[in-house]
Structure 1
């Protein structure tokens, strides 16, 4: 893999750390700005909304810009948002910084995938994407907890500055290591939108949405489920998150290697395993010996489906900026919907186990979304057997 792809992964690590770091300092920020904890929660929502809505709009303006230049510009915009958060003196300024960072992050994801597709052979794109998304996973396992620890030890502003410095480092390194790519063919938004007439592309988007929605419906409420339903101590929760994170990294390494050659097979196996893991978790939520293996399965078969998801989208709709940025927006929307519906289920009185069942339903619908593919494989096998006979 070209070294430039690891630079892209570093940038994604920084941006993902920034996205979730607010969750670890909610009480501190609430006291700093004189608002409620729920209002601080809206800062996370604002970041996600910026990714879902603003990212594709910004990408549309960058269609004819050289990919390297677009990435550097987006890194600079994200850095501006992060620095604005570091010096924010009011809740409103912090909200603005989160929106700016979210918009830049979404577009940067799309540009990163497009660059990686240009740097490697077609049969290596899944592996390249797995490295980029490895930055995302390491951010959730190490980056966000580290940012929280730094905020507790040295103050929340120090944590924001630390991430800003890493973003600057990744931008400068990208400027040196990402080769100058050929300028994209002149295009228009209308031409780019033709890709979205492909129903198979929307089928791929739907499966991605359901996989991530199912995963985050449960993951968003892991901590209270572990302590209040399974009976783990509060001190054991970080260790359980490390186990889950290690499973996602391991799963990403596996799917990254296989995504190009066995794209649909990996997605099918992954969705079946995810459904099984969530169902086992829901049924055995009060038994630690059941919960731990279930969490490992969810870690292996949830977020690590990103490489085959992206490989399927590129194979179906191409490696254009809009196609990949919209995919990033849809995946982010899956995070929002999964966690929100899980929260609504709890608020409706169905208990802490309800988000896991929401995940089960979404994963089952995901399996159903792949039935046309599985039916096609079955027909191919039947035809092959008939030819042999």
Structure 2
């Protein structure tokens, strides 16, 4: 694989770390600024909303420059946001820093997916995308636990300073290793928005919202579920999240590899198994060992859907994939916000801490139905295109045969002997 994918993965590692590490240091941040935990939670919500809105906005603004220059700009934006969070004198300033950093998130992964796919042969697109996203999964295994430990030991400001340093490494990697491809010929605001006329693009984003939303319905409330239901101590939750991150890492690699061979079947299997696993989590959450195994499986199956969904969007928006790809990244965060809200609703209604698993199973099951619909529509479109192609080929052959027959008749007439005058 090209070294440029390593540079993209490093950038993804930094972005993934800053997105999730805030959850581990939230009490320290709230204490330093003198705000409540729910108020500090806006640092999570604000980041998610920044990704949702920033992804399409910055992608549209970047249609006039090359993808490499846009990636460099986004990494620079991420560095500025992380440093602003690290030195913030007030909660409001830190929230602004979080939002600035989040604006780079969706567009980086969206544009990065297009760049990654363009670095390899078409039959290896999903694998290349999964290697870039590997940085995000490794962030959950290494970056987030390490950042949380550093934040608790040396202060959360040190954590965000180190995250900014990761951004610098990613910036230098992109500058040195990612090739300059020039501005795409099809680039332009109108051309990029034209991709959304394809219903398959909307179906893919809906699958993203619901499929990965199913994961976050459970994971958002994993701490009370593991401590109150499974019986783990609060200190063990960090290591449980490491298991979840390991599952994400493995699922991402397997999802990319098998999506290159059979994209939609891979998606069917991942979404179907994810829905069933979330359903069984309501029972396995009562046992420590089974809960840990199930959580790992949820991470693996959830992230196994990411490379195929991202590749499906790129395939359906071939003429102008950048905006559609970035919007699909925003859909992940929209799904996270929706699932977290629904999970909170069922807990507040008195259904217990395992109730979000039912919500997650329902969301993922609905995503599977949409995947089946997308495959059906794609098959019907291909069949119709094949019929039109055969009809066009038949018309062309008929025209050729007609021309040949006409030429033959003309030749017969030309070769015939002259008719005597008396018989005319």
Shift of 1:289: 4.6
What is the match of residue 384 of structure 1?
A: none
* 1:356 correspondence with 2:362: no
What is the match of residue 75 of structure 1?
A: 75
* 1:36 correspondence with 2:32: no
Is contact 1:273-1:297 (8 Å) kept? no
Tell me the distance in 1 between the aligned counterparts of 2:16 and 2:23. 12
What is the match of residue 129 of structure 2?
A: 129
Tell me the distance in 2 between the aligned counterparts of 1:350 and 1:248. 28
Shift of 1:176: 0.9
* 1:296 correspondence with 2:323: no
Matches within 5 A, 1:1-389: 1-185=1-185, 187-318=187-318, 320-372=321-373
Tell me the distance in 1 between the aligned counterparts of 2:241 and 2:22. 17
Tell me the distance in 1 between the aligned counterparts of 2:87 and 2:105. 20
Runs of 4+ in structure 1 displaced over 4 angstroms?
373-379
**SS of 2:57 mapped into structure 1:** helix
Cα deviation per residue 1:49-98 (whole Å; 9 max; x = unaligned)?
11001221111110121111110011111111111111100111111111
Tell me the distance in 2 between the aligned counterparts of 1:196 and 1:186. 15
Shift of 1:348: 2.3
Shift of 1:186: 5.6
**SS of 2:182 mapped into structure 1:** coil
Q: 1:229 to 1:329 in 2, by over 3 A?
A: same
Unmatched tracts of structure 2, length 5 or more: 381-424
Deviates more, 1:40-49 or 1:342-351: 342-351
Unmatched tracts of structure 1, length 5 or more: 380-389
**SS of 2:260 mapped into structure 1:** coil
Q: 1:236 to 1:24 in 2, by over 3 A?
A: closer
Is contact 2:212-2:302 (8 Å) kept? yes
Tell me the distance in 1 between the aligned counterparts of 2:15 and 2:245. 18
**SS of 1:62 mapped into structure 2:** helix
Deviates more, 1:203-212 or 1:263-272: 203-212
Is contact 1:64-1:186 (8 Å) kept? no
Shift of 1:182: 3.0
Tell me the distance in 2 between the aligned counterparts of 1:7 and 1:131. 10
Tell me the distance in 2 between the aligned counterparts of 1:378 and 1:309. 17
Tell me the distance in 2 between the aligned counterparts of 1:84 and 1:296. 34
Q: 1:342 to 1:227 in 2, by over 3 A?
A: same
Q: 1:4 to 1:34 in 2, by over 3 A?
A: same
Q: 1:150 to 1:289 in 2, by over 3 A?
A: closer
**SS of 2:170 mapped into structure 1:** helix
TM-score, normalising length: structure 1:
0.93
CA RMSD of aligned residues (A): 1.8
Shift of 1:375: 5.9
Shift of 1:274: 0.3
Shift of 1:144: 1.1
Tell me the distance in 2 between the aligned counterparts of 1:112 and 1:371. 28
Tell me the distance in 2 between the aligned counterparts of 1:359 and 1:255. 20
Q: 1:63 to 1:378 in 2, by over 3 A?
A: closer
Tell me the distance in 1 between the aligned counterparts of 2:72 and 2:378. 43
